[in-house]
């Protein structure tokens, strides 16, 4: 097949705006961050001192940063497990042929359209110890009104709840699409053979959804590491006593609160390495998907 452009310059001219944007706003900042991670930087870059890998050594010997890694792992693990599990249940319910199903599906998806900061404000008021709906409900049912912002475990639970709610819409979109693409004859044949609802889900639905669920696992991990800064900043500011100080917020604190640009750049490279590792894992493992074919 002959190329549409006989002149080799024309394609590069058409690509040049995109290439320029990538260079200015992606590749150049990445190079500068890699450079800054090797320096101690004074206030607003007024003075720089080359220190090599000292920033990275200090990071992994810092109790605060190591605690932030542990907090991020707990936070991300809880958000991923709860998010995918609850989303699966909601997708199964939304996939039923009932009156008003389309409207209910829109209602399930809309939280993902909110920005993390707005979601944080919503849940900040819901968890408010004095006037929040959650404390009002726990007071009626159990006679208790927890001080969510005062204790480490309750503050982390509060942020995990908000982040899980925020990701539900994203998960439901993919799981609902996956459920609607499962051939109906598989489930009908299993029902005729006497399989229960749980057996049909466990033996047929879940295996056929496994590629979608693995994709969501990786994407949820990436989003839990990178997209919850606004939520944490609005709700807890990393407290109390750094209980919700996840990696992305720790990087912000180092760079914009204490103005340690070199230190923050080293943290950003570590986060970049994490997302690259997760992405490579997704590409490698999803290439081994099972393809189901009719006999």
Residue 293 is predicted with a pLDDT of: 45
Residue 105: name the closest of 171, 162, 163, 160 by CA. Answer: 171
Q: How would residue 4 be classed by pLDDT, with cut points 50, 70 and 90? A: low
Confidence of residue 215 (pLDDT cuts 50, 70, 90): confident
Note the pLDDT of residue 289. Answer: 52
Question: Can you tell me the mean pLDDT for 15-28?
Answer: 92
pLDDT at 11: 82
Upstream peptide bond of 240 is cis (omega within 30 degrees of 0):
yes
What domains appear along the chain, each with residue ranges and CATH number?
Answer: 62-286 (1.10.3720.10)
List the structure tokens of 279: 């992405």
Give the model's pLDDT for residue 226: 86
The mean pLDDT of the chain is: 86
Q: What's the mean pLDDT in 75-102?
A: 88
Alpha helices in the chain (DSSP H): 9-22, 28-36, 54-59, 63-94, 101-109, 116-126, 133-142, 152-180, 184-192, 197-200, 206-226, 229-235, 247-252, 261-286
pLDDT at 1 over 60: no
Q: Which tens digits make up the pLDDT trace of 226-252?
A: 889 999 999 999 888 889 999 999 999
pLDDT greater at residue 17 or residue 112: 17
Q: Residue 279: what pLDDT?
A: 78
Distance CA 47, CA 56 (A): 20
The model carries a pTM of 0.86
The whole-number pLDDT of residue 286 equals 64
Confidence of residue 187 (pLDDT cuts 50, 70, 90): confident
What percent of the chain has a predicted confidence (pLDDT) above 70? 93
pLDDT per residue as tens digits for the range 93-110: 888 877 777 777 777 888
- From 68, 81, 98, 75, select the one nearest 216 (Cα to Cα): 81
Predicted local distance difference test score (pLDDT) of residue 291: 45
| Distance from chain centroid for Cα 282 | 15
Query: Is the per-residue pLDDT at 56 higher than 50?
Result: yes
Backbone angles phi, psi at 178, to 5 degrees: -65, -40
Residue range 26-44, pLDDT digits in tens: 899 889 889 989 988 876 6
Do residues 111 and 165 touch, judged by C-beta distance below 8 A?
yes
pLDDT > 60? residue 292: no
Mean pLDDT of 68-79: 93
| Spatial distance between the Cα atoms of 79 and 246, rounded to a whole number of angstroms | 13
- pLDDT mean over 45-73: 89
**Residue 285 has which token pair?**
């493992």
């Amino acid at each position: 097949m002959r190329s549409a452009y006989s002149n080799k310059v024309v394609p590069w001219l058409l690509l040049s705006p995109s290439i320029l944007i990538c260079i200015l706003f992606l590749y150049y900042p990445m190079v500068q961050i890699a450079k800054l991670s090797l320096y101690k930087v004074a206030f607003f870059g007024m003075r720089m001192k080359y220190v090599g890998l000292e920033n990275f050594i200090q990071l992994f010997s810092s109790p605060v940063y190591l605690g932030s890694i542990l907090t991020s792992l707990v936070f991300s693990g809880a958000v991923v497990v709860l998010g995918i599990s609850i989303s699966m249940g909601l997708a199964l319910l939304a996939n039923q042929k009932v009156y008003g199903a389309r409207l209910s599906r829109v209602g399930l998806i809309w939280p993902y359209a909110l920005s993390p900061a707005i979601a944080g404000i919503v849940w900040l008021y819901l968890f408010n110890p004095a006037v929040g709906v959650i404390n009002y409900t726990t007071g009626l049912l159990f006679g208790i009104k927890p001080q969510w912002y005062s204790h480490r475990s309750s503050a982390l639970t509060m942020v995990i709840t908000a982040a899980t709610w925020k990701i539900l819409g994203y998960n439901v979109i993919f799981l609902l699409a996956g459920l609607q693409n499962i051939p109906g004859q598989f489930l009908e044949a299993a029902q005729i053979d006497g399989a229960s609802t749980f057996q049909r889900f466990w033996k047929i639905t879940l295996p056929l959804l496994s590629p979608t669920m693995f994709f969501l696992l990786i994407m949820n991990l990436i989003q839990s590491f990178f997209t919850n800064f606004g939520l944490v900043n609005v709700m807890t500011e990393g407290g109390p006593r750094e209980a919700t100080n996840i990696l992305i917020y720790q990087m912000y604190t180092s760079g914009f609160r204490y103005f340690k640009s070199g230190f923050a750049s080293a943290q950003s490279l570590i986060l970049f390495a994490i997302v690259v590792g997760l992405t490579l894992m997704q590409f490698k493992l999803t290439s081994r998907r099972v393809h189901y074919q009719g006999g």
